[in-house]
Chain A
């Protein structure tokens, strides 16, 4: 049991801090969004695809909620429904635009 706890602790410490937030993509300025229509469209398409692939697996696809609610719901689903980091970003982008 002690080995189990040590392994769990070490694994959590190693993995939690191995990839820090410095690796995460930096939010772009909102002006970049409007200036890059093609990229925006591509991300909307990819976001919708991932939304349909992930959200409707468990429940009926919900309507869009206000952005703050959507940001919270997506974070909740990341944990509950095991969405990948990439999926959460795409889905949130799609659901808030």
Chain B
């Protein structure tokens, strides 16, 4: 892991050498204002016949502190209400509160942002970019999501730069510390994610590595890919996670928006399919959040975008394991909101 930082240094210096990239001759004079954004979601899920009423409100607070300093934070209030007796009785459950991130971003120069505080762990893409329900195409979490993700308290360097008109390079390198404080739980990690984005092809791919600097001191690796063919309203997303102790797995998702339909009502529909596979690791129980048996799951769904903020959804999936197969159904709504907290120009 220690060898990767000189690599970042070299790559970043190479980016700095490209200061002759033609700057925009025109810039917007819009001044950022504090914003309260976020989403609400109600996604009842039937997994193996047991219903869970998943209800989430997740506010995001964005505050510009100066021209290159930003505070951003996201919390979540989630209630997973289940029947008292599994499949019968009234619904019961507690509201879980969590702080996903509360960080200060210092935009040091065009290629480097320094982040300090509590941040989303940049391991693969899903955790940072696709996690909110209003963004994700399939509502259930990927089986490999518990590997290497979550939130960490520490410091991070990240940024992106054009290597050429055809390729953008991006990176995130971080170090986090152990914390057991309420809402600030964190493990001691050192990690890195490197990626490349081809704007013309709309293709992004990359790798992640993370070393746990406590307990079993395990190392995890990740691979991610995202592709939007320019000629098709199609999103292809895929990730893999490799951990000798916790397990290995991948997921592959395709989402096709019916933009070519004649009726406007049909153009709001997105068809989704996702398949995933997980194989348990050599030390079962290392990560209690991943499946405890080899698991395969395939899901199909439909999203309906009512407008810019509202989305209705439904999906069906089948889970295959040595312990037995089961169905998983979801149906629900998500709503994304944005409120300016500052003066409107």
- Chain A residues at the B interface, C-beta cutoff of 8 Å: 1, 3-5, 7-8, 10-12, 14-21, 23-25, 27-28, 30, 32-33, 36, 39-40, 43, 50, 53-54, 56-60, 62-63, 65-73, 75-76, 78-87, 89-90, 92-93, 96-97
Closest-CB distance, A6 to chain B (whole angstroms): 9
Task: Enumerate 16 A-B pairs (CB-CB under 8 Å) in ascending A order.
Answer: A1-B213, A8-B175, A15-B16, A15-B111, A19-B109, A28-B26, A33-B26, A59-B135, A63-B308, A67-B345, A71-B30, A72-B64, A75-B70, A76-B70, A79-B113, A79-B158
Q: Within the assembled complex, what's the spacing in Å between the Cα atoms of A60 and B135?
A: 8
What 4 A-B pairs come out closest when comparing CB atoms? A16-B108, A19-B109, A85-B110, A67-B30
Query: B32 to A40, Cβ gap below 8 A?
Result: no
Query: B72 to A93, Cβ gap below 8 A?
Result: no
Query: B338 to A92, Cβ gap below 8 A?
Result: no
Q: Which of A12, A24, A28 contacts B112 (CB 8 A)?
A: A12
Q: Within the assembled complex, what's the spacing in Å between the Cα atoms of A68 and B33?
A: 5
Q: Within the assembled complex, what's the spacing in Å between the Cα atoms of A30 and B29?
A: 8
- Chain B residues at the A interface, C-beta cutoff of 8 Å: 1-2, 5-6, 8-9, 12-13, 16, 19, 21, 23-35, 37, 62, 64, 67-68, 70, 72, 105-115, 128-130, 134-135, 155, 157-162, 168, 170, 172-173, 175, 190, 195, 197, 199, 202, 204, 213, 226, 228, 235, 305, 308, 338, 340, 342-345
Q: Within the assembled complex, what's the spacing in Å between the Cα atoms of A72 and B40?
A: 21
Known: A8-B173, A69-B340, A84-B161. A16 touches B33 (CB 8 A): no
Q: Within the assembled complex, what's the spacing in Å between the Cα atoms of A68 and B342?
A: 8
Closest-CB distance, A2 to chain B (whole angstroms): 10
Q: Within the assembled complex, what's the spacing in Å between the Cα atoms of A65 and B191?
A: 35
Query: B162 to A84, Cβ gap below 8 A?
Result: yes
